[in-house]
Amino acid sequence: MSATAEERLARIEAQLAGLNQRLDEVVITQLKDHGKRLAVLERRQVWIGGWIAGAGAVGVSIGAGLTWLLKVLGGM
């Protein structure tokens, strides 16, 4: 192997190591971003669940109030 071939091989190995490092950085960044997106979706689901429960409680209260009102008005 001539010195030129050895130099080319060393450059290729350095480029490969750099590419490997870059791929590692990209994968780690993507995993972190994905984790953040999942956390946002989970918080949103909790918020929606709370909103639905609150709306259900209001609906039950309105229904009970209307039932009471109809009983009162029906007794007149």
Residue bearing tokens 């290729």 = 12
Confidence of residue 1 (pLDDT cuts 50, 70, 90): low
pTM of the model: 0.50
Query: What phi-psi label fits residue 2: left (phi over 0), alpha (psi between -120 and 50 degrees) or beta?
Result: beta
Confidence of residue 2 (pLDDT cuts 50, 70, 90): low
User: What pLDDT is stored for residue 41 in this prediction?
Assistant: 87
User: What pLDDT is stored for residue 76 in this prediction?
Assistant: 67
Instruction: Enumerate the domain spans of the chain.
Output: 1-75
Confidence of residue 46 (pLDDT cuts 50, 70, 90): confident
- CA 68: distance to chain centroid? 44
Both structure tokens of 22:
């870059």
What is the pLDDT averaged over residues 22-41? 92
**Nearest alpha-carbon partner for 51 in 62, 59, 39:** 59
Q: What gap in Å lies between CA 12 and CA 10, rounded to an integer? A: 5
